Protein backbone atom coordinates (compact mmCIF):
# COMPACT_ATOMS: atom_id res chain seq x y z
CA UNK A 1 0.00 0.00 0.00
CA UNK A 2 2.94 2.36 0.57
CA UNK A 3 3.93 1.98 -3.08
CA UNK A 4 0.44 3.04 -4.15
CA UNK A 5 0.51 6.05 -1.83
CA UNK A 6 3.96 7.08 -3.06
CA UNK A 7 3.00 6.74 -6.73
CA UNK A 8 -0.26 8.63 -6.18
CA UNK A 9 1.57 11.38 -4.29
CA UNK A 10 4.10 11.75 -7.10
CA UNK A 11 1.32 11.96 -9.69
CA UNK A 12 -0.61 14.59 -7.73
CA UNK A 13 2.49 16.68 -7.04
CA UNK A 14 3.57 16.69 -10.69
CA UNK A 15 0.05 17.38 -11.90
CA UNK A 16 -0.46 20.21 -9.42
CA UNK A 17 2.92 21.73 -10.35
CA UNK A 18 1.84 21.74 -13.99
CA UNK A 19 -1.60 23.18 -13.21
CA UNK A 20 -0.26 25.94 -10.93
CA UNK A 21 3.37 26.73 -11.77
CA UNK A 22 5.05 29.31 -9.55
CA UNK A 23 4.84 32.79 -10.98
CA UNK A 24 2.21 31.98 -13.60
CA UNK A 25 -0.18 34.77 -14.41
CA UNK A 26 -3.94 34.39 -14.16
CA UNK A 27 -4.06 34.44 -17.97
CA UNK A 28 -1.57 31.54 -18.16
CA UNK A 29 -3.48 29.55 -15.56
CA UNK A 30 -6.68 29.71 -17.63
CA UNK A 31 -4.99 27.51 -20.25
CA UNK A 32 -3.76 24.98 -17.69
CA UNK A 33 -6.71 22.66 -17.21
CA UNK A 34 -6.89 18.95 -16.50
CA UNK A 35 -8.61 18.44 -19.83
CA UNK A 36 -5.78 20.11 -21.72
CA UNK A 37 -3.18 18.25 -19.70
CA UNK A 38 -4.73 14.82 -20.27
CA UNK A 39 -5.41 15.55 -23.94
CA UNK A 40 -1.72 16.41 -24.38
CA UNK A 41 -0.66 13.44 -22.22
CA UNK A 42 3.00 14.45 -21.80
CA UNK A 43 5.53 11.69 -21.15
CA UNK A 44 5.92 12.62 -17.47
CA UNK A 45 2.17 12.21 -16.94
CA UNK A 46 2.02 8.86 -18.74
CA UNK A 47 5.02 7.69 -16.70
CA UNK A 48 3.42 8.75 -13.41
CA UNK A 49 0.22 6.89 -14.32
CA UNK A 50 2.24 3.82 -15.34
CA UNK A 51 3.96 3.80 -11.94
CA UNK A 52 0.61 4.07 -10.17
CA UNK A 53 -0.89 1.30 -12.30
CA UNK A 54 2.10 -0.95 -11.58
CA UNK A 55 1.84 -0.30 -7.83
CA UNK A 56 -1.87 -1.18 -7.84
CA UNK A 57 -1.26 -4.34 -9.90
CA UNK A 58 1.50 -5.40 -7.48
CA UNK A 59 -0.85 -4.87 -4.52
CA UNK A 60 -3.25 -7.36 -6.11
CA UNK A 61 -0.36 -9.71 -6.92
CA UNK A 62 -1.07 -9.30 -10.63
CA UNK A 63 1.40 -8.75 -13.46
CA UNK A 64 1.61 -5.17 -14.68
CA UNK A 65 1.12 -6.36 -18.25
CA UNK A 66 -2.59 -7.18 -17.98
CA UNK A 67 -4.91 -5.62 -20.53
CA UNK A 68 -7.87 -3.51 -19.45
CA UNK A 69 -10.15 -6.41 -20.31
CA UNK A 70 -8.14 -8.83 -18.17
CA UNK A 71 -8.16 -6.40 -15.26
CA UNK A 72 -11.93 -6.03 -15.49
CA UNK A 73 -12.37 -9.82 -15.59
CA UNK A 74 -10.22 -10.24 -12.49
CA UNK A 75 -12.01 -7.46 -10.64
CA UNK A 76 -15.37 -8.98 -11.51
CA UNK A 77 -14.17 -12.36 -10.23
CA UNK A 78 -13.00 -10.76 -6.96
CA UNK A 79 -16.35 -9.01 -6.63
CA UNK A 80 -18.20 -12.31 -7.10
CA UNK A 81 -15.96 -13.99 -4.50
CA UNK A 82 -16.72 -11.32 -1.95
CA UNK A 83 -20.45 -11.37 -2.67
CA UNK A 84 -20.76 -15.07 -1.85
Could you report the per-residue pLDDT of 25-59, keeping only the tens digit for each? Answer: 999 999 999 999 999 999 999 999 999 999 999 99
What integer pLDDT is reported at residue 24 of this predicted model?
Answer: 95
Residue-by-residue DSSP string for 1-18:
-HHHHHHHHHHHHHHHHH
pLDDT tops 90 at residue 84: no
Q: What is the dihedral of CA 75, 81, 83, 84, to 10 degrees?
A: 160
pLDDT tops 90 at residue 67: yes
Averaged pLDDT for residues 64-84 = 95
Amino acid sequence: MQAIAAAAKELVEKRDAWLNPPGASQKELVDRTLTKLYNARPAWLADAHRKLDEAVAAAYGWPATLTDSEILQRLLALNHERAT
